Amino acid sequence: MRNWVSALIPALVAGMFANQAGAGEINVKVTLPQINTSEYHRPYVAIWVEKPDQSVQKNLAVWYSQKKTDKGEQSDKWLKDLRQWWRKSGRDQSLPMDGVTGATRAVGEHAMTFVEGKEPLANLPAGQYNIAVESAREKGGREIVRVPFTWPVKKAETVKAAGQQELGDIIVDLKP
Amino acid sequence: MKHILTLVSIALAATASVAHAHGVWIAPSSTVLSAPQFVSFDAATSSVPFMIDHRPLVIDALNIIAPDGSKVTPVNVMKGELRTVFDAKLEQQGTYRLELLRSGFRASWKDAENKPKRFMGTAEALAKEVPADAKDLQVSETDSRMENFVTVGKPTALKTSGKGLELVVATHPNDLVTGEPVELTFLVDGKPTEGVEVAIIRSQSRYRNNTEEKTYKTDKNGKLKVSLPEAGMYWLDADFKDNKVSNKVAKERTLAYVVTLEVLPQ
């Protein structure tokens, strides 16, 4: 994933200079912190573009277990624990969502690039938004972190926020 | 035998709707679900709502209605000393409604020796049980509705029956979060009604010094606005009296509505 992104960025940067009306880009880096506990489970995480009224404009990524549990239950049983996302969007979706949902991720840094005109970002109307990142962990806690940004991006900018417990640094790198 | 059972449950129902100080409640283990699964319920009458400290609730008349209108049979029903427990398998997407409707007639009078007498049951039974020459006879009709809502996936719209005292929540009852005020409309026989008295108590009252009960009255449009600033399970009780009796033997009608509302943190 990281290799893919770093290979992609120079290409996109080059593309930007070649064409002034190039596609805007949102790079999101999410750090899942190391949590010392006797029983660690990877968190469920949802990442989306949020409007000022806290409604969901675009779902960018949802990481959850799509395997059945030992008891044969669907793992989406726990999706409701991403409670903000579940209420604002998840319950309205038919899951899995193409290009959005994926397996849970390990502790560490996860970089994603979302490009204007391409799913899942596609065409974002001009305005104020947040990148919202919500994490919920089995036998653990739940946390939501928001990083504000304005679209379209006028000049390259990096905006940061950090979680207290369940999320580490959230770095949003914006490119015009 | 069956008749006796019906009478007993109606009698219990009538007692319950008089003694609102003794909260009648049904509490679900979950109200917001992202996948079909079992949900477990506790049902009881107690000193304070959700406190398991008095009597189990008789749930013979309970209906669990699936989003498509079909009925779900409660399983693993256990009537304990202090509370009734049951499970329900919720397999469809949408909102399930649990409803417990109870109605009957209540009479009190004095016999020839001036001893107080009471009766609770159907109008027909009342005519037989209460002597024609009963002194100081007071008869009222009682009609109560108790509800719980549980949603799998996306909440679905709820319909009212147009009978008795009912509630319409502007925000879906399984869509309540802290910091968002809730608008409630109370209907009597389907019409928004002024002057319905409402009491709301949050769960876990044992762990605070005051039940923090809040009381409200509906305005001329049958509405009231409440803010539920703390996450938790809330018991809501509404009461109203009028004279729209179904049998002239009673002078007034006592209507009650009870619902459990879960408020989640943002």
Q: What pLDDT digit, counting tens, does each position of A52-91 carry?
A: 999 999 999 999 998 877 777 667 899 999 999 999 999 9
Nearest-angstrom CA–CA distance, A157 and A174: 5
> Per the CB < 8 Å rule, is A86 touching B264?
no
Is A169 a residue whose pLDDT tops 50? yes
Chain A residue numbers with beta carbons less than 8 Å from the beta carbon of B36 are 74
The pTM of this model reads: 0.86
Helix intervals (H) in B32-161 = 123-129
Measuring CA to CA, how many Å separate B23 from each of B54, B184, B213, B215, B258? 10, 20, 12, 15, 9
Helix intervals (H) in A54-146 = 83-88
B94–chain A nearest CA distance, Å: 10
Tokens of B265: 């943190």
The residue of chain B nearest to residue A79, with distances taken between CA atoms, is B34
Nearest-angstrom CA–CA distance, B158 and B174: 11
Amino acid at A87: R
> What pLDDT score does A85 carry?
97
The residue of chain A nearest to residue B151, with distances taken between CA atoms, is A91
Residue B153 touches partner A, C-beta closer than 8 Å: yes
pLDDT tens profile A133-142: 999 999 999 9
> Per the CB < 8 Å rule, is A79 touching B34?
yes
Looking at every residue in chain B, the average pLDDT score rounds to: 91
Instruction: Among A77, A78, A87, select the one facing B175 at the smallest CB separation.
Output: A87
DSSP codes joined into one string, B143-204 = EEEEEEEEEESS-------SSSEEEEESS-TT-EETTS-EEEEEEETTEE-TT-EEEEEES-
Chain A and chain B share a number of CB contacts under 8 A equal to 32
What confidence tier does B37 reach under pLDDT thresholds 50, 70, 90? very high
Is A3 a residue whose pLDDT tops 60? no
> What pLDDT score does B131 carry?
86
Share of chain B above pLDDT 90, in %: 80
pLDDT tens profile B222-257: 999 999 999 999 999 999 999 999 988 899 999 999
pLDDT tens profile A4-59: 555 555 555 544 444 445 789 999 999 999 999 999 999 999 999 999 999 999 99
- Report the candidate in A109, A102, A129, A130 with the shortest Cα–Cα distance to residue A33: A109
Q: Is the ipTM of this complex over 0.90?
A: no
Residues A75 and A69 sit within 8 Å (Cβ to Cβ): yes
What confidence tier does B21 reach under pLDDT thresholds 50, 70, 90? very low
> Per the CB < 8 Å rule, is A91 touching B154?
yes
Three-state DSSP class for residue A21: coil
What confidence tier does B113 reach under pLDDT thresholds 50, 70, 90? confident
A134-169 as b/e, with b when 16 or more CB fall inside 10 Å?
A: bbbbeebebbbbebebebebeeeeeeebebeebbbe
What confidence tier does B16 reach under pLDDT thresholds 50, 70, 90? very low
Give the residues across from B263 on adjacent strands.
Answer: B176, B232
B149–chain A nearest CA distance, Å: 16
Disruptive mutation site among B29, B30, B34 for chain A (greatest number of A CBs within 10 Å): B34
Which residue in the block uniquely carries the two structure tokens 């020459």? B133
What mean pLDDT is predicted for residues B150-164? 96
> Per the CB < 8 Å rule, is A80 touching B175?
no
